[in-house]
Amino acid sequence: MDIIVGTAGHIDHGKTALVKALTGVDADRLPEEKRRGITIDLGFAELDLGDVRIGLVDVPGHEKFVKNMLAGASGIDVVLLIIAADEGVMPQTREHFEICRLLEIQTGLIVLTKRDLVDEELLELVKLDAQELVENSFLENAPMIEVSAKTGEGIENFKRLLLETVQKISHRKNETVTRLPVDRSFSIKGFGAVVTGTLISGEISETDEMQLLPVGRNIRVRGVQTYGKPTKTAHAGQRTAVNLSGIEYGEIERGMILSEKNILRPTQIFDAEIEVLKDAKKSLRSRARVRVHIGTTEALARVQVLNEEREIAQGAKDFVQLRLEVPIVTLPNERFILRSYSPQITIAGGQVLDNMPIRHRPKNMESVQKYLQDLTFSGKENDRAKRLKLYVETAHEHGLTFNDLQARTGWRSEILQKTIAENVDKKAIIKAEAFYVARAAFDGLRARTVSEINNYHRRSPLERGIFRETLREKVFSQVSTDIFKTTILYLEREGEIAVEKDYVRATSHNTELSTEEKYVAERLLKIYQIARLQVPKLEDALTEAASGTKLNRESARKIFQLFINSGEIVKISEEFYFAKDVISNLINNLKEFAAKTSGRLIDVPEFKDLARISRKYAIPLLEYFDREKITRRAGDKRLIL
Ligand SMILES: Nc1nc2c(ncn2[C@@H]2O[C@H](COP(=O)(O)OP(=O)(O)O)[C@@H](O)[C@H]2O)c(=O)[nH]1
Ligand SMILES: [Mg+2]
């Protein structure tokens, strides 16, 4: 088993000395560190405890170097909270402890160093001090050990307790693709660039093709070392050094991530849940500029608080959107720390919920909160299927591809495949060729397609169907043709629609008029166009149109209905119908009358004159115009509107 153990604690409390007493390694490797006698940057050492191999990360305690401490703390499994017995809890003891708590490090030991410098009485006081600090935290029941790096007292006992502790911790989940957040890079003569870091998931092997993010540089692995020795493959949880070809070491910085090729994508915005420290100087407000420490990187960002008050009080938890000034690579569940821009003080910590959200607007706050609440999975049960479904839902009808989903989740391909299949089986998401669309969005598209087709039939009853491309432009212009094709396929399979060549129609739509029906249709239309305003009664028109054919009046009535549906013939009353252009002409005449008489009311005789019709038509027409709000009745007269 491989475990990463990190130190934490105030400067000069004996962190580096403890690492040396355990391993013989002086983790202060920089000349400046040696000269000044303080730890500035991260130091590394290995400790072999038989069954367990431990990668030790020694962090600087000085408040100026908390940034470096954070880069080291992000990958650790077990923390050693180090407190000098002669000094007790100091400011960076607190700050480092809070950072570990906010990063949700699960396991740790409390180590009281410099045992040789204090008597029993003082030791008891420091123990109480330490106990109070960790009350109600992950370290509440952690072992507390006194050691002296100087005399060696307690070191063997400490190793025994450390082994016991790490044997109890559960294995890494390793559900995500390979990621190595870089904490150091240098070059070795004759070999080129080397990066080191804690391999937080996956494996890295010699000759692997990989990618350095967020820059997106493709590189090849020339060699791998773990615990200072060459190896074919490094595994998650190991301190790992990778010799890269295809890049100069000067192009590599701490904070970059070595990952599998073309899977993860840089982002400059993410949604998260954060907790503001109880001891923070002020509440956290929207627009605040903060430093985001995530993985081994630090990025400046603006906070967008996702609540009504646009503010999170000290000690409170809430949702935020962080808008970063530079791209980073992060995945859901990743923990991070927020520090204020200036002065640089730790103010909050949290967990990424969505690494590629849209920019939230204040007016949708309620639905945003609901969405993020759903992503927090109360009870910590990390339900992958549910998470995947939520992400797909945010894409609405646009859907997401496998690659999109892998960039969103970072899951290894086989895990993502399984999780997608679970959702597809439950019909929570629909597979539309290369895309996955949420059920509700897909149903919406389906309904809009059907109604577009039906509208088309209503407007053009004599056409056999809507042109496929027209339908696509009307309903699917913003989405992939994959989704269009799948929608059509579903509707076809369900028997709702029929696709004939380039045309789509509702199965219920029976347009194909026979030659004889077409003949009757033409005659009907002609009757109304020729009659102008002197229309026959409907029954007479139907009889006339059908006469001399094999069709009866009822068949003619069905054909007539097609003209009504399409609006080519307008219904005025049960008895009377007029061609569309005849009615619009008449409306124009009415408007002209109104214009000429400066809006004088028109009475029935005047209307009869204007239209040159008898009372039999005049009354139903005027009543129709009243209903259509073209005229308004005022006593016996009408106002033309
Ligand atoms: N007497 C005594 N001195 C110690 C012990 N551990 C560390 N020191 C001294 O305390 C100073 C700071 O130790 P160091 O390990 O650099 O502290 P760090 O800043 O926490 O890494 C150094 O001068 C060490 O020699 C100890 O157990 N006993
Ligand atoms: Mg040190």
Segment 151-165, tens digit of pLDDT: 999 999 999 999 999
Pairing of strands 2-9, 53-58: parallel
Copy the structure tokens of residue 617: 């038509």
Segment 483-505, tens digit of pLDDT: 999 999 999 999 999 998 889 99
For residue 13, how far is its CA from the centre of ligand 1 (angstroms)? 6
Percent of the chain with pLDDT over 90: 79
Q: Whose CA is nearest to atom 26 of ligand 1?
A: 114
| Beta carbons of 134 and 112 less than 8 angstroms apart | no
Torsion of CA 567, 573, 578, 582, to 10 degrees: -100
| Predicted confidence (pLDDT) at residue 630 exceeds the cutoff of 60 | yes
Segment 73-91 shows an average pLDDT of: 94
Segment 48-72, tens digit of pLDDT: 988 889 999 999 988 888 889 898 8
Nearest ligand 1 atom to alpha carbon 11: 19
Q: What is the C-alpha separation between 188 and 222, in angstroms, rounded?
A: 12
Q: Whose CA is nearest to atom 2 of ligand 1?
A: 114
How many CA atoms are closer than 13 Å to the CA of 201, on its beta-carbon side?
17
Q: Whose CA is nearest to atom 4 of ligand 1?
A: 114
Residue 380 has what pLDDT? Answer: 47
| Predicted confidence (pLDDT) at residue 273 exceeds the cutoff of 50 | yes
Residue 223 has what pLDDT? Answer: 95
For residue 11, how far is its CA from the centre of ligand 2 (angstroms)? 7
User: If we measure between CA atoms, which residue out of 301, 197, 323 comes closest to residue 259?
Assistant: 197
pLDDT band, very low/low/confident/very high, at 457 (cuts 50, 70, 90): confident
The overall average pLDDT reported for the chain is: 93
Segment 348-370 shows an average pLDDT of: 93
Residue 227 has what pLDDT? Answer: 83
Q: What is the C-alpha separation between 140 and 142, in angstroms, rounded?
A: 6
Segment 386-402 shows an average pLDDT of: 96
Q: Whose CA is nearest to atom 12 of ligand 1?
A: 12
Give the residue, 565 or 290, on which the prediction is more confident: 290
Segment 310-336 shows an average pLDDT of: 96
Q: What is the C-alpha separation between 362 and 115, in angstroms, rounded?
A: 56
User: If we measure between CA atoms, which residue out of 17, 9, 11, 16 comes closest to residue 148?
Assistant: 17
Copy the structure tokens of residue 136: 């109600």
Ligand 1 lining (C-beta closer than 6 Å): 11-17, 38-39, 61, 113-114, 116-117, 148-150
Percent of the chain with pLDDT over 70: 99
Segment 411-418 shows an average pLDDT of: 96
Residue 497 has what pLDDT? Answer: 95
| Predicted confidence (pLDDT) at residue 381 exceeds the cutoff of 50 | no
For residue 216, how far is its CA from the centre of ligand 2 (angstroms)? 34
Nearest ligand 1 atom to alpha carbon 19: 15
Taking the chain, what is the end-to-end CA distance rounded to the nearest angstrom?
A: 87
Best of 113, 119, 146, 147 for a ligand 1 pocket test (most atoms within 8 Å of beta carbon): 113
| Beta carbons of 354 and 273 less than 8 angstroms apart | no
Best of 42, 118, 150, 151 for a ligand 1 pocket test (most atoms within 8 Å of beta carbon): 150
Residue 511 has what pLDDT? Answer: 63
Residue 359 has what pLDDT? Answer: 92
Segment 383-402 shows an average pLDDT of: 94
Could you identify the residue written with the tokens 């020795």? 229
For residue 506, how far is its CA from the centre of ligand 1 (angstroms)? 83
The DSSP annotation for 517-557 comes to: HHHHHHHHHHHHHHHTTSPPPHHHHHHHHHTTSS--HHHHH
Three-state DSSP class for residue 186? strand
Segment 507-531 shows an average pLDDT of: 88
| Beta carbons of 26 and 20 less than 8 angstroms apart | yes
For residue 23, how far is its CA from the centre of ligand 2 (angstroms)? 14
Q: Residue 204, exposed/middle/buried by CB under 10 A (0-12, 13-18, 19+)?
A: buried
H or E element at residue 21: helix 15-23
Least confident of 188-192, 315-319, 473-477: 188-192
Segment 179-237, tens digit of pLDDT: 999 999 999 888 889 999 999 999 999 999 999 999 999 999 999 999 888 999 999 99
For residue 66, how far is its CA from the centre of ligand 1 (angstroms)? 19
Least confident of 7-16, 78-87, 190-199: 190-199
Residue 379 has what pLDDT? Answer: 43
Of all ligands present, the nearest one to the C-alpha of 39 is 2
For residue 414, how far is its CA from the centre of ligand 2 (angstroms)? 42
Best of 7, 10, 11, 16 for a ligand 1 pocket test (most atoms within 8 Å of beta carbon): 16
Provide φ and ψ at 584, rounded to 5°.
-70, -35
